[in-house]
Amino acid sequence: MNLVLLDFDGTITKKDTLFDFTRFSVGNIKFTLGIAVLFIPMVLNKIGLLSAQNTKEICLTLFFKNICAMTLTNSAINM
């Protein structure tokens, strides 16, 4: 059995690792295109009009909506 710990909000690491995990999981090209799509939600988050939680939900939906849990688990294990 493998134990995978992901820290998307900086609780056990010194930084938020959501983008690192996402880039590793979807690849550089899809990640870069996705960040372009997420530009507006990220700006709204920075100016306080969109919460960090909602911004992360938008990000996760954009990148992982049609990916099965096993694929995500395998990505995490292989990091």
Which has the higher per-residue pLDDT, 62 or 69?
62
The pLDDT value recorded for residue 12 is: 76
- The string of pLDDT tens digits covering residues 3-60 is 666 666 667 777 777 888 889 888 999 999 999 999 999 999 999 999 989 998 999 8
**pLDDT reading at 76 higher than 70:** no
Is 42 in contact with 48 (CB distance < 8 Å)?
no
Which has the higher per-residue pLDDT, 40 or 72?
40
Per-residue CA distances from 9 to 13, 29, 33, 68, 70 (Å): 8, 24, 23, 22, 22
What phi, psi does 59 have (nearest 5°)? Answer: -60, -50
| Residue whose token pair is 């799509």 | 37
Query: What's the token pair of residue 40?
Result: 């507006």
| Residue whose token pair is 């096993």 | 70
